[in-house]
Structure 1
Amino acid sequence: MTTYNNISIDGLNIFYREAGAKDKPTIVLLHGYPASSHMYRDLMNELSDQFHLIAPDYPGFGNSETPAIDKFEYSFDRLAEITEHFLQALGLNRFSLYVQDYGAPVGFRIASQHPDWIQALIVQNGNAYEEGLTPAWQAFRDLWSDRSEATEAPVRGFLTRDTTVFFYTAGTKSAQNINPDNWNLDQSFLDRPENAAAQMELFYNYRANLDRYPQWHEYFRTHQPPTLIVWGKNDPFFGPEGANAFKRDLKNAEVHLLDTGHFALDEEGEAIASHIRRFLPANIAFQ
């Protein structure tokens, strides 16, 4: 059974989902854009007999608080800091880390700062290499090089309903396989007061993640965390080259390219759950 919880972290209300017995191995699940912990709802139900699962919403996402940009720094450094403090507040200091999309820059900051916390990594369309960024990122690169009204305008299109639907349906075997509750829920959060400004700050700050790539590669090479990569190979934003690139630095990374898009759990959730059930007991101390 999944429970739905709130906790105050650095003065902000942070929402999180929790499932499974606390004496089981823990998996922390960090969501992507434009999603929330909702993206993990089925996986948490599927794995809760074998694992303890925790999935928070970042500030500005899901059911967590969305402070105004003059009261909160919307940067990936700050999202990682909030998430780190969240984990500390829950007493979590030994777990496997599942990251997707924005979850990768948040999670890899935490993992490289606290390598002793990490039992294993599970990476689903969460980028850490330049070659993983497809041409769909050009509008963002233009914004990063010269932020102005002209370069912001195309990126604001990523806040629209059509783009949210595209995130979920592009590259899938069939759009009929995807529950429209996904984009309806996400769009309702994106349309909240203050949220568009918050997301634009994160779009602009994403450039800082590329600067962190060498640091994360060094973490991979030095600590060699067991890593399972389950990647929607038809993702229009993070290409399969980004999945295979992990093998340069992680000697035993296991890569599975799945015939679906950005949110691979929606079509390949059963396959991903099966990989996790097999991979984690073989690679971490297990109860």
Structure 2
Amino acid sequence: MARTTYRTADVDGFKVFYREAGRVGAPKLLLLHGFPSAGHMFRDLIPLLTDKFHIVAPDLPGFGQSDMPSRETFSYSFDNIARVIERFTEVIGFDRFAVYVFDYGAPTGFRLALSHPQRITAIISQNGNAYEEGLSDGWTPIKAYWQDPSPANREALRGFLTPDATRWQYTHGVPDPTAVSPDGQNLDNFYLARLGADEVQLDLIGDYKSNVALYPAFQDYFRKHKPPILAVWGKNDPFFIPPGAEAYKRDNPNAVVKFLDTGHFALETHASEIAEAIRAFLA
């Protein structure tokens, strides 16, 4: 098994922690995690791909081991997260790469594609949404906050940040919840419990509306540049539902769509199946 190393990059003074594995010179693969996780969500996937790819999995700004500056010095928006990650890829020499996007990683990765389409060789979207039909009714309280960012509507979203909510995200839709390790969710809850992390996450939940506003631009990118797309989807995801995966075919008829009988965090139960799909797709 190839060794994974744990590094920190200085991105214009911003510390970005990342996992790296595989041979330098092999095809590059950037892994972008989602809420409320970090690069550790790829711990089972990375070893299954290191013989073929040079893999990097950063922790997004405000997540995991990367810097979480105060909200007074850093505005927590998806535009700013994407700017840091874009510079991160430049700092570490990731000039052309396939990108695996999940949850928050999707609007981050798609912003990179809009900014520099020539750098993206392929997209693997694992429950990474770019279509309004992919949003479930579970977004209703979040949409209420987008429409009226009142203190009361913001306070109503704190339920998404509790340990029970994290466990639910990991296990909802999984046929056998005992197959889900508690390690990832417990680490996520540790990071969520840090001083100030709750307000950071509420800022990002509020800014998610900027991603929905960009959906037409993302879709135009898919149509115009036609990057190879693999949508591999936990079909029981309570947030990003299967029509969001199928919609990729509308803008790129050659998109490959695969559904797995699991929930939002599909890697917790189907890492080997996802790795096999990636290997076949990128071959």
What TM-score, normalized by structure 1, do the two folds share? Answer: 0.97
> Quick one: which amino acid aligns to residue 258 of structure 1?
L
Structure 1 residues without counterparts, runs of 5 or longer: 282-287
**In 2, distance between residues paired with 1:154 and 1:163?**
13
Shift of 1:138: 0.4
Deviations 1:70-121 (A, max 9, x none): 1101000000000000000011111101000000000000011111001110
Q: What residue is the counterpart of 1:255 in the other structure?
A: 257
Distance 1:159 1:223 in 2: 37
Instruction: Write the deviation string for residues 127-181 of structure 1: whole angstroms up to 9, x where unpaired.
Output: 0000000000001000000011211122111110000001100011211000001
Q: Do the aligned residues in 1 keep the contact of 2:138 with 2:239 (CA within 8 Å)?
A: yes
| CA distance in 2: counterparts of 1:38 and 1:5, whole angstroms | 13
Q: Secondary structure at the match of 1:62?
A: coil
The question of whether the paired residues in 2 share the 8 Å contact of 1:67 and 1:194 is answered with no
Is this contact kept in 2: 1:142–1:151, CA < 8 A? yes
1:133 is matched by which residue type in structure 2? L
Residue in structure 2 matched with residue 267 of structure 1 by the alignment? 269
Secondary structure of 2:158's counterpart equals: helix
Rounded Cα–Cα distance in structure 1 between residues aligned with 2:25 and 2:175: 38
**Whole-angstrom CA distance in 2 between matches of 1:43 and 1:52:** 13
The residue number in structure 2 matching 1:90 is 92
| 2:9/2:92 contact within 8 Å kept | no
Matched, 1:158 2:150: no
* Aligned match of 2:22: 20
Describe the SS at the equivalent of 1:220. Answer: helix
Once the two structures are TM-superposed, the CA of residue 24 in structure 1 deviates from its matched residue by 0.8
Query: TM-score, normalized by length of structure 2?
Result: 0.98
Match of 1:211, SS? Answer: helix
Q: Is the 8 A contact 2:141 2:157 kept in 1?
A: yes
**Alignment of structure 1 residues 76-155 onto 2, 5 Å:** 76-155=78-157
Residue 11 (structure 1) aligns with = 13
User: Over the residues paired in the alignment, what is the CA RMSD in angstroms?
Assistant: 0.7
Residue 181 of structure 2, aligned match among 160, 179, 182:
179
Correspondent of 2:65 among 56, 63, 66: 63
Aligned letter for 1:248? R
Of residues 103-112 and 3-12 in structure 1, the stretch that sits farther from structure 2 once superposed is: 3-12
Name the amino acid aligned to 1:176.
Answer: T
CA displacement 1:30-59 (0-9 Å, x = unmatched): 000011000011111111111110000011
Q: CA deviation digits over 1:246-276, x for unaligned, max 9?
A: 1110120000011000011111111111111
Q: Is the 2:234–2:266 Cα contact (8 Å) retained in structure 1?
A: yes
Corresponding residue pairs, total: 281
Q: Aligned-pair distance for 1:10? A: 2.8
Kept after mapping to 2: 8 A contact 1:123/1:230: yes
Gaps of 5+ in 2: none
Q: Which runs of 4+ in 1 moved over 4 A?
A: none
Task: Quote the residue 1:195 is aligned against.
Answer: 197
Paired residues of 1:224 and 1:251 also in contact (CA < 8 A): no
Q: How does 1:190-269 map to 2 (within 5 A)?
A: 190-269=192-271
**Match for 1:267: what amino acid?**
T
Q: Which residue type is aligned with residue 239 of structure 1?
A: I
Distance 1:210 1:59 in 2: 20
* Structure 2 Cα separation of the partners of residues 200 and 237 of structure 1: 17
CA distance in 2 between partners of 1:158 and 1:108 (Å):
24
